[in-house]
Amino acid sequence: MFRAQSHSFFRQKTKALLVLVFLHSFMINREHLCSNHPFATPQTVQSITHSSLPEMRFDGHISFNNIEFAAKDFGNRYHLMPSAVLHPKSVSDISSVVKYIFDLGLASELTVAARGHGHSLEGQAQAYQGVVISMEALRVPEMSFHTGKRPYVDVSAGELWINILHESLKRGLAPRSWTDYLHLTVGGTLSNAGISGQAFQHGPQINNVYQLQVVTGRGEVSTCSEEQNADLFHAVLGGLGQFGIITQARIALEPAPKMVKWIRALYSDFSTFARDQEHLISLTSSLDYVEGFVIINRTGLLNNWRSSFNPKDPVQADQFTTEGKILFCLEVAKYYNPRESDHINQDVDTLLSELNYIRSTLFLSEVSYVDFLDRVHVSEVKLREKGLWEVPHPWLNLLVPRSRIHEFAREVFGNIVKDTSNGPVLIYPVNKTKWKSGTSVITPEEDVFYLVAFLSSAIPSSTGKDGLEHILSQNRKILSFSQRPNLGIKQYLPHYSTEEEWKVHFGAHWEVFCRRKLSYDPLAILAPGQRIFRREKKFALQ
């Protein structure tokens, strides 16, 4: 099925010996494998220039010029130039490059990063003076849909979720779990988790994939699932790209609705807000989407909502003011088909009657399923028109245990975050029981925990509250509080600078994570931008 190319530079016994020496050094001197930033030396560039990589034949092509795009990402803070970019047209293109670098062994420091749609935040998909694989070029297999009792679609890992949505809807189907933004690749979100307001019910996106095809750090192509190569399957899901490059995925589907009842309401008391959110996600049959966000000193908020929502009581809504207040917005949605409209209205009314929001702030909207899921893209278009999309995005995403969320809210929203004008602050609970066990994703230990996401945008020229340094300082204060050992808070889309921080993040799972690294990427070739393991030329052939 897959074309294999061999570029071995050493005899098998010599290569095996080198790997064993490296593994020994890994076990004894792990502190040398973690780094504050990607490392490369002049020898790295020379190894590209004087290697056989430019002469290799691919179904796609490899570029050494005009590759600046691979040194950029959505975070817009790290710009690390690779030496080459591979545009693969087949899985064997990816396998050949990784295997070639693996076969170079410890004589090379080349690394490989898989880049999706470029929405990393901290340079995680960059490979300084290494090889970046542009996964969007990979379009095999074409989407292949399978209907029946357990419908699914086989897709390339470089496919965008928005494209999967449109194609699956043609068949009356759709994936079960989403991210808030759909212009991301399948491989990118599955390498993290893929969380949105549906996660309380269906789990994250990694919970809704049946099978993967992966190119490991040895260049081997493996198919994995719960039944086949299960350890690799679990390692790669949420594995931050450390164990293999996802090339194909089998995504679970379900019958798709056509319409969405989209509802917002405000709370002035955090405890009441959190209690209502937790109540909604505890129900076996309730809403299809539950999120929330924090509002601090926002003037004219309800008037802004009127462009998309209708107030339940317009008179009372006009009298409500938000100035000088910390408010919490509950955002929920119920999916339905037009023929179910009457009974859905009754169900929604019943659910809302059980909640304790400020009655004058209830706003409702009815939109198509596509418009609801792709809602963030509308904001993207507007920001691009204003030149405010490609700015630094110093985002901070945290997973906070339910038992600590009130303490977190008091400190962060009471003392640290003085306004939210730099971007939305999301906050909503999920059920850990809906998350697949054994994956590489690290979450708090409790059954219910909250995603708290500070989605800031920085104005590059500003030295004020909307400037990068101010936002980074605020993030550091939040992290300083969150890293208190008794809180049990974890980062989502984690970013750390030292091995000790990564050890604390993984906790009891660190040894498993390291074992999997040794099994599937023993030379630390993959995903150097995560800064977990450092590829280093410690030994040379005598």
Residues belonging to the active site:
119, 180, 291
The 3-state DSSP class for residue 54 equals helix
Give the helix, strand, coil percentages of the chain, each rounded to 5.
35, 20, 40
Residues with Cβ < 8 Å from 181, sequence gap 6 or more?
119, 376, 377, 380
The 3-state DSSP class for residue 189 equals helix
Distance separating alpha carbons of residues 537 and 43, to the nearest angstrom? 10
DSSP string, 398-459: EEEEGGGHHHHHHHIIIII----TTS-EEEEEEEGGGSPTTSS----SSSEEEEEEE-----
**Dihedral of CA 254/256/280/440: which sign?**
positive
Angle, alpha carbons 466-469-470 (nearest 5°): 50
Identify residue 311 by its one-letter amino acid code. Answer: P
User: Tokens for 199?
Assistant: 């996660």
Distance separating alpha carbons of residues 16 and 106, to the nearest angstrom? 11
Residue with tokens 């030396």: 41
162 and 188 Cβ atoms separated by less than 8 Å = no
Helix, strand counts (H, E) of the chain: 17, 19
Residues with Cβ < 8 Å from 436, sequence gap 6 or more?
203, 206, 207, 234, 237
User: Tokens for 536?
Assistant: 């280093």
Distance separating alpha carbons of residues 42 and 180, to the nearest angstrom? 41
Identify residue 437 by its one-letter amino acid code. Answer: S
Residue with tokens 């937790």: 278
The 3-state DSSP class for residue 201 equals helix
230 and 238 Cβ atoms separated by less than 8 Å = no
Other CB atoms within 10 A of residue 54 CB? 11
111 and 44 Cβ atoms separated by less than 8 Å = no
Pairing of strands 221-225, 209-216: antiparallel
- Nearest CA to 400 among 369, 361, 426? 426
Residues with Cβ < 8 Å from 475, sequence gap 6 or more?
394, 396, 454, 456
Pairing of strands 131-134, 112-115: parallel
- Largest Cα–Cα distance of the chain, in whole Å? 84
DSSP 35: -
The 3-state DSSP class for residue 149 equals coil
The number of residues making up the chain comes to: 542
